[in-house]
Structure 1
Amino acid sequence: MSAEAVGRGDWSDLVRLDRLGPALAAALEDEAWRDSSADLISGGKSNLTFEVTSPAGVVILRRPPSGALLPSAHDMGREARIQRALRGTPVPVATVLLEDRTEELIGAPFYVMEKVEGHVIRSTMPPGYAESPADKVAMADALVDVLVALHEADPGAVGLADYGRPEGFLERQIRRWTGQWEKSRSHDVPAVDELGRRLAAALPASRRSAIVHGDYRLDNCLMHPTDPSRVAAVLDWELSTLGDPMTDLGLLLFYWREPGESEPALTPAATRTPGFPGRAHLAQRYVAATGADLGELAFYEAFAHFKFAVIAQGIAARVAAGVMAGQEFGDLDSEVARIAADGLHRLDQEG
């Protein structure tokens, strides 16, 4: 992960290096891990990500935020399980090195994975990286191709046959995110309520099921350090399950900002700079590889807006509760309303 993404501070209450160090020393068979330090990697707005450094090397630790959590959120066990399952498939993932699903070791469930070298592309491109339009198109294509590989992976063959329930997936998703909205809302936002109602009334029939990432976007992937046509690792598997793969495509298109568009408050948007292809390019590449029907794409894009509006509200609630390790993201009220309004507009465009 890029060094500029690391924030300095005292994270002893969140990482418990006095316990983690010996555990890493035992798991990795190197006593040098007993002498470790931890730095928060900024940008994570749900689970917390730390870079743990010792004379033996560097690893990455993922754990939930502190404090009370919404039901079913921040499941470290699922993240670790799917990354183990996808090792050896065309989907690039980091190797899981240590996992504790209890709270005994550091006070919360967590897992540790290898540090994969690469770039997290956020608001700007790394100097000298993917400077030509051809490189930027290659980056977009690589992102789509890995998503296709994920959706083509056989859940049973990789040990994930019981990872979710594809039947009724969309209905449950609308119900789940509506429930999350009710638990985290701080005031009425009519656009969010209306978007949820309209989506629930217009559920398309899911044509296929697959392993879905649940939050697939450019900055949840590590791009190869020198080759922009390669994804080095897919990160942040918290929302992964078995379900309708079109929800992943809808999210990718929601996050993908086109040249000239404004940058959202919560998600970086390097893709809005000149040279990157538009959303239509990504959608058509996905269709060419999978044969997917884009007839209901507006629903899936609108659902992405609904889901992220609820996620944004959850981030605001966690910041207000002081469980985000001191991270601040500004006043998100207007962002929640804007996202939902844009989702309604997408449905209206289709109609």
Structure 2
Amino acid sequence: MPVYARTVPVMERHRFDAASLDRYLRGHLAGYRGGLEVEQFDSGHSNPTFFLSAEMADGRRRDFVLRKKPPGKLVASAHQVDREFRVISALARTDVPVAPAHLLCTDDSVIGQMFYLMSCVEGRILIDPSMPAQTPAERAAIFDSMNDVLARLHKVDPVRVGLGDYGRTGHYVARQVARWSKQYAELKTEDIPTMDKLCAWLPEHIPPEDPTTIVHGDYRLGNLIVHPAEPRIVAVLDWELSTLGHPLCDLAYNCIGYHLKEPPHGFATVDFHKLGLPTESEHVAAYCRRVGRDRIDHWNYYVAFSLFRLAAIAQGVYRRGLAGNSSNPDSAKMSKAPRERAELAWSLVG
């Protein structure tokens, strides 16, 4: 039986007209024959994500994943599932592992919001980086594979895969600081002094190095599918925040867990040697070897920027939870996350 991430019955606030979807798929998905079954993954909180199973022309059932925009009033620059569809379609021609994309529907009348459909890749979602069920050797191999896939992504030529206009070239950090500062201001629910300090300090201290690559934007273990039985990455998920940008911001975001203490995402206090996990410096050094870098200057800036960005994102999740628009049932409990992440970021640079 295939191994997938955990699913639950479709949450009431994310229910849609399955009969309408069935009619659409009959006309747009090659080989589709009906028998549609729909459940919801308990992850993919920004853009609601659904597990679909259907009968196909060869007489077998096939599994798919549908990602759509959430309901309700949305921030203009967020939840662009059409961009997710575009980037995974382009990367399918590279050595970056992604789920095969099938179709994009921009007609809101079908299920209420724009959505796209991709194949369901068999494997495991390991949310906790300490991976308690794995052996030290398996943990080391999974972290190394995660590192390798990120380096592969950053070595892809955007123009060559048709993504030359997927974002602007250069000045990524400045644009991101401005974007997340604005979004935080629009969605803030209380005053957080360290966020105000970061909004002022970060744009004044941007490192001079300014390369441009394809960046994932939320590259972490929980957004990767690990092979069902082997310690390697078989697909990268959740490309909502992807664009053309600074690769060191992607790497720093991937290292945030080294600075956070609370599980499941934080693992700053674990015994790395005992678990078989690389230290932050070892993880960064492995990446540098793979992309041909000698060193990284201003590392703390990139980590602080990533924590600042994560604080702004957490603020958005919390605000959507208060409004009842989030697919994460615990989003309304995230009131402390923006402050904690902002204070940690400021401690690195303030």
Does TM, normalized by the shorter one, top 0.5?
yes
RMSD of the alignment, in Å? Answer: 2.4
Q: Does 1:45 align with 2:84?
A: no
Give the alignment partner of residue 311 of structure 2, picking from 302, 309, 329.
309
- Compared CA separation, residues 141 and 326, structure 1 to 2 (3 A): closer
| Identity of matched residues, % | 33
CA deviation profile, 1:177-224 (whole Å, cap 9, x unmatched)? 001101110111111111221111101123421001111111111011
Deviates more, 1:22-31 or 1:146-155: 22-31
Q: Does 1:173 align with 2:176?
A: yes
Q: What amino acid does structure 1 have at the position aligned with 2:92?
A: R
The Cα of 1:294 is off from its aligned counterpart by 1.3
CA deviation profile, 1:253-299 (whole Å, cap 9, x unmatched)? 013568xx4326xx476995733222222111011112333111111
Checking the alignment, whether the CA contact within 8 Å between 2:11 and 2:40 is kept in structure 1 is no
Give the alignment partner of residue 73 of structure 1, picking from 68, 71, 78.
78
Deviates more, 1:61-70 or 1:191-200: 191-200
The Cα of 1:18 is off from its aligned counterpart by 1.0
Name the structure 1 match of 2:164: 161
- Compared CA separation, residues 29 and 12, structure 1 to 2 (3 A): farther
Distance 2:242 2:249 in 1: 11
Name the structure 1 match of 2:97: 92
The aligned length equals 340
Q: Does 1:23 align with 2:24?
A: yes
- Compared CA separation, residues 29 and 244, structure 1 to 2 (3 A): closer
Corresponding residue SS for 1:119: coil
User: 1:161-310, aligned counterparts within 5 Å?
Assistant: 161-228=164-231, 230-256=232-258, 261-263=261-263, 267=265, 272=270, 274-292=275-293, 293-310=295-312
Tell me the TM-score normalized by structure 1.
0.90
Q: What amino acid does structure 1 have at the position aligned with 2:222?
A: D
Distance 1:119 1:270 in 2: 23
Distance 1:15 1:270 in 2: 41
Tell me the TM-score normalized by structure 2.
0.90
Q: What amino acid does structure 1 have at the position aligned with 2:29?
A: L
Distance 2:130 2:176 in 1: 34
Deviates more, 1:13-22 or 1:78-87: 13-22
Name the structure 1 match of 2:58: none
Q: What amino acid does structure 1 have at the position aligned with 2:22?
A: G
Structure 1: 5+ residue stretches without partners: none
Name the structure 2 match of 1:114: 119
Name the structure 2 match of 1:319: 321
Structure 2: 5+ residue stretches without partners: 56-60
- Compared CA separation, residues 10 and 139, structure 1 to 2 (3 A): closer
